[in-house]
Amino acid sequence: MCFSLLAIISLIKLGYSSKVRLIRLREIQDSFLYEKNRFNVLTSRFDDLFSSEGEQRFMKDQDQMISRGIIRVIWR
C-alpha cells in the first residue's frame, strides 16, 4: 500500500515538473522566434542601405522618425 502511494505521488511530481519544463521551453522558443524575426527585418533594412538609392530611402525613413519641433543637421 505504501509503495503504491509513493509511486503515485512520484508520478504526480514527475508530471508537474515535466509540464513546467515544457512551458519554459515554449517560452524560450517564442522568444527565439521573435528575436529571429526582428533580426531578419533589421538585416533586410541594413542590406537595403547598400542598394541603389538606399541612402535616400534611409533619409526618408529618418524624416518620419523625427518629430516636428526638432532641428536636424545633415553633414555631407
pTM: 0.57
Residue range 8-41, pLDDT digits in tens: 999 999 999 999 999 999 999 999 999 999 999 9
Q: Note down the domain range covering 28.
A: 22-51
Residue 23 grid cell? 512551458
Domain count, the chain: 1
Residue 39 within any structural domain of the chain = yes
Q: What is the pLDDT of residue 39?
A: 96
H/E segment holding residue 71: none
Q: Which residues contact 57 (CB under 8 A, 6 or more apart)?
A: 48
Phi then psi for residue 45, to 5 deg, are -65, -40
Residue range 57-69, pLDDT digits in tens: 777 766 555 566 6
The whole-angstrom separation of Cα 53 and Cα 42 is 18
